[in-house]
Structure 1
Amino acid sequence: MKILTVVGARPQFIKAAAVSNIIRKEFDEVLIHTGQHYDENMSKVFFDELNIPKPDYNLGVGSGNHGKQTGTMLIELEEIYLKEKPDMVLVYGDTNSTLAGALAASKLLIPVAHVEAGLRSFDMNMPEEQNRILTDHISKILFPPTKTAVENLNNEGIKDNVHNVGDVMFDAVINFKKLSTEKSNIINILNLEDKEYILTTIHRAENTNDINRLKNIIEALNESDRKIVLPLHPRTKKYVEDYGLKFGDNIKLIEPVGYLDMISLEMHSQKIVTDSGGVQKEAFFMKKPCITMRDETEWVETVENGWNVVVGTDKSKILKSIVDFVPDKPQEDIFGNGKAGEKILNILRQRI
């Protein structure tokens, strides 16, 4: 049995870290890195520190418009599929790499397994929403992480081979939290104190590509009286410079960090302000209040559970939440038991 896994972006590297080493105990795996995230700090460092198997192929696609990026991946992936002849293609999440990996396989009648299936923001303007819906509808095995994700699939008529395994990112946090404590020195390097800062990430195109949205976010952060630590995504940095925006003295800008450093920054933060889907979940796993700078979220469970508030890019809402937002109830067990990778292996074994 040969499984071909396609990854291309930071969250997918983390998910692969929780799954690849497990499925390789029984199956042959060919790992393809599309190169969607190609920056050293956004890519290679994750493979190194998380002990992810070295990619068998690196397409080096890089950035670009959605059509060009996805189309280039399709061409390259099809050639590899024809050469490797996998029995199944495994994809993660909702990026262009996800869609390209699934679509190239489906055209060649290779079964697709989708990890993190069933997520919905119900905003079709989001490229990620388009990617996840299309991928779900051409996948043969679906691994939703929550009950809500299962319900979303059922509502769209997808009911066969749907397995709620829990969230593989929860596996990763459990597995690497201790390693982060042992190996990460980021808190000392940045001279930070526990719970004295707000950790912030900004990277989503709907925010970075819109000058008004990005300006509102930066002005809100600048006007807050809290210390902000912001690992600056390459795309965000480019648009900040293009728009002539400035960060305040209360904001500590740092380069993008690896996963172990990010876990450490999350663990020691007071709150987390983000537009990232993955960081919303990591905030929940770390029991940190999360302020989401988007108009909606696919992780509705974190909002319903009271640990995440969606504020869009309204400056007053961002500022008020930074000061006032505090979860008012205990967390519920909504993301599984940290054994999603093992459950995926068992289901693949039964399928074969």
Structure 2
Amino acid sequence: MNRPAGPPARPAADTALAGLDLLASAVLLVGADGQIRYANAAAEHLLEISARALARMQIAALFLNGDELANLCAQALAHEYADLRQDLALERSGRDALHVHSIVSVTGDGGVIVELRENVQQLKLDREERMLDQSQVNKELIRNLAHEIKNPLGGIRGAAQLLELELPEKHLNGLREYTQVIIKEADRLQTLVDRLLAPHRRPHIVGDVNIHEVCERVRSLMVAEFPTGLSIRRDYDASIPEFRGDKEQLIQTVLNIARNAAQALRERIAAGDAELVLRTRVARQVTLAKVRYGLALDLHIIDNGPGISPQIRDRIFYPLVSGRDGGSGLGLTLAQTFVQQHLGVIECESRPGLTDFRILLPLP
């Protein structure tokens, strides 16, 4: 009886090195001529190239600046170092650079073994730097745009009021409806502009802040707003010290995130199984805006909702970007502004069933 063919057998060299497939870091075996002889499974995943394709390539051809990696291999072979270690930003066509920590070691057969570990910390720093730059651009844009809108808006509203006063008595009832539409829409836009300018107008009032008092205030507001269907669980680290900050801004920050979560949870609230978690922890040796802090507040606001749409996930902190109908798209923008005024950052991870907003703030 004929049996279906199984997957193609791996080359003998690959079978002998199969244990390397168990490693989480990418491993390449490179000959003295720069030819890649072997790549483990982690290397396939990291480089997004199959092991068979890699085995036909030169190490220098892997990246646009692959000569840097090839030179490390050549140096290791020439001087027979125990290993060479270096952080590299390996450039790829059409994609972000790959930030890795490389370890190049000489093997006994005249080749080298190259280990590549993705530099998660560098990626995090680059992401935070982009976020800070974008936030600064957004703030300038909002401030300038709001002022440009504010002046003509007052003129439009004033003109509509004067027009209403000048309407003939016989047309007053019919035409007054239109002038009222102009006045009400001008007022609505005025309110939006005021909200855009709010974080830049209000003074930063600094005092001693207990983060659990902030969380409890938000919790009481959320319980009053959603008395049934929403369970709010507290998971606090009581050892977190007080720190200097603007308590009202931090309450507004956590409240904006919690309300967004509740809006996303409306179906689960109706079903009675919605959950919101307020979790506090201490993080150690944290880098925020390129400054290293020994201690940082690690505050999580977690919900079991449907998650944030992938289409807007990278833009949720941009102004006027909202994931729901009728949303203003300002809540998370204000939250980010307030956190940055406290020298902190907001991060977000989201998938169906779990969305986690993480606020990191330096502690004394």
Same fold? TM cut 0.5: no
Larger Rg: 2
| Structure that is richer in strand per residue | 2
TM-score relative to the length of structure 1: 0.18
TM-score relative to the length of structure 2: 0.18
